């Protein structure tokens, strides 16, 4: 077995033939089918948001951008977007500040009770938000924190901090501890080690974690929904309320808001994909070609 595996890798560098077997056809066919459905789902919303009137028929009768202005004014979207931004940034900053030191300790030390602690950090990710959201909202209402910006931020931190710890722990594990030891040998104090040795090494991981937390927070519906008051709604929650208020307002206004939401999420995701390779979050094996 080992003899065969150690055989020289006979890699052919020639470009691969494009000859698809039936299995490949089925796979790619279903991918295309999925993407077509997706295009239909997104396209229907986008087309409707620009449509003047659309009752039956392939396309609306006439086009307009009126709904964007209307939805912006009626739902006070500038206020909603400000709240969304405030919540997301606060959650990112606090979760990184709390999560990264914890991840460092978890990556570098083995101590009694570590497994229990890891489970405690995993649970908020494993349990659906509604399950702990209901008791959490009850507690936050008891302390008069819910219904305000601070309550929304606190609730959103619950899955964010463990997420940062989960992403950062393997990242810190792969940084060689000898670097720190060497710096200490050369007389660096703890503060210097953190600011000048570990800090620069940690920045890519922190950036990745921060962007992922940002995407998750902007998209987090349940926790914000349970804790938000009238003036602390984020974009998703405002979108949900506008859907359930359908009938009073034009459908197109809701769709215009949905398009705004998707565009902002898309910008975030494209930014995230520039820094994070999503397929290497779990295992980091060097890709051989």
Partner 1 sequence: MAAAPAVARPRISLRHRLAERGVDRTLLLLLPAVVFVVALFIYPFVYGLQLSFQPQAGSDAANKYGTGPFADYRLFFSDPYLRNTIWTTLKIGLPAALFNVLASVPIAYRMRGRFRGKRAVTTILVVPITLGTVLTAEGLLAFMGPTGWLNRILLDLGIVDHPVRLTHNYWGVVFSLVITGFPFAFLLTLSYLTGIDPTLERAAATLGAGWWQRFRHITLPLLAPGLAITFCLSFVLAFSVFPSAIMVGEPARQTRVISIAAFHAAFEQYDYSMASAIAMIMGAVELIVIGLVLGWRARLYKGATGGKG
The CA distances from residue 181 to 100, 101, 108, 178, in Å, are 20, 18, 12, 5
Specify which residues 246 forms β-bridges with: 249
Q: Which of 285, 273, 281, 94 is nearest to 171 (CA)?
A: 281
Nearer to partner 1, 4 or 19 (CB): 4
Q: Residues 196, 147: contact at Cβ < 8 Å?
A: no
For partner 1, the closer CB: 112 or 187? 112
* 130/182 with CB nearer partner 1: 130
Residue 245 is a binding residue for partner 1 (CB under 8 A) = no
Which of 87, 232, 255, 256 binds partner 1 (CB under 8 A)? It is 255
Binders of partner 1 among residues 87 to 106 (CB under 8 A) are 97-99, 101-102, 104-106
Q: What's the closest the beta carbon of residue 175 comes to partner 1, in angstroms?
A: 15
For 175, residues 6+ apart whose C-beta sits below 8 A from its C-beta are 198, 201, 202
Query: Shortest approach of partner 1 to residue 63 CB, angstroms?
Result: 16
Place of tokens 């998707």: 262
State yes or no: residue 147 binds partner 1 (CB under 8 A): no
> Which residues, including other chains, have CB under 8 Å from residue 155's CB and lie 6 or more apart?
133, 136, 137, 140, 146, 223, 224, 226, 227
Exposure on the CB side of residue 34, measured as CA atoms within 13 A: 6
Instruction: Give the one residue of 8, 56, 187, 200 binding partner 1; rule: CB under 8 A.
Output: 56
Distance CA 89, CA 92 (A): 5
Q: Does 118 bind partner 1 (CB under 8 A)?
A: no
Which residues inside 150-189 make contact with partner 1, applying CB under 8 A?
154-155, 157-158, 161-162, 165
Binding residues with partner 1: total (CB under 8 A): 98
**Chain residues 219-238 in contact with partner 1, contact rule CB under 8 A:** 219, 221-222, 226, 236
Helix axes 251-275, 22-50, angle to 10 degrees: 130
Please choose, out of 67-75, 78-86, 127-135, 200-208, the segment that lies near partner 1 by the rule CB under 8 A: 127-135
In which residue are the tokens 């899955």 written?
159
Of 80, 137, 213, 256, the one binding partner 1 by CB under 8 A: 137
Give least dist CB 174 to partner 1, A.
Answer: 14
Asked if 51 and 206 touch (Cβ cutoff 8 Å), the reply is: no
Contact 149, 227 (CB under 8 A): no
User: Site for partner 1 (CB under 8 A): which residue of 8, 22, 135, 200?
Assistant: 135
Kindly indicate which of the ranges 73-81, 84-92, 131-139, 181-189 contains the residues binding partner 1, using the contact rule CB under 8 A: 131-139
Site map (CB under 8 A) of partner 1, residues 195-224, x = contact = --------------------x---x-xx--
């Amino acid at each position: 077995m080992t003899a065969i595996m150690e055989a020289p890798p006979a890699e052919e560098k020639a470009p691969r033939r494009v000859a698809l077997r039936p299995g490949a056809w089925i796979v790619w066919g279903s991918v295309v089918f999925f993407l077509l459905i997706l295009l239909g789902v997104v396209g229907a919303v986008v087309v409707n948001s620009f449509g003047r009137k659309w009752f039956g028929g392939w396309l609306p009768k006439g086009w307009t951008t009126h709904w964007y202005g209307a939805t912006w004014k009626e739902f006070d979207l500038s206020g909603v977007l400000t709240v969304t931004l405030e919540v997301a940034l606060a959650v990112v900053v606090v979760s990184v500040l709390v999560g990264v030191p914890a991840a460092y300790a978890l990556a570098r030390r083995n101590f009694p009770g570590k497994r229990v602690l890891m489970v405690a950090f995993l649970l908020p990710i494993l349990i659906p938000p509604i399950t702990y959201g209901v008791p959490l909202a009850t507690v936050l209402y008891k302390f008069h924190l819910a219904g305000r910006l601070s309550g929304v931020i606190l609730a959103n931190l619950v899955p964010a901090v463990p997420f940062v710890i989960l992403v950062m722990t393997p990242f810190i594990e792969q940084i060689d501890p000898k670097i720190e030891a060497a710096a200490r040998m050369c007389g660096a104090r703890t503060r210097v080690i953190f600011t000048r040795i570990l800090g620069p090494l940690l920045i890519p991981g922190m950036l990745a974690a921060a962007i992922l937390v940002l995407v998750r927070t902007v998209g987090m519906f349940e926790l914000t929904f349970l804790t938000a008051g009238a003036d602390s709604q984020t974009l998703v929650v405002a979108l949900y309320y506008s859907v359930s208020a359908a009938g009073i307002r034009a459908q197109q206004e809701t769709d215009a808001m949905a398009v705004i939401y998707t565009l902002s999420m898309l910008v975030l995701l494209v930014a995230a994909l520039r820094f994070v390779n999503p397929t290497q979050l779990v295992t980091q094996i060097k890709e051989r070609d």
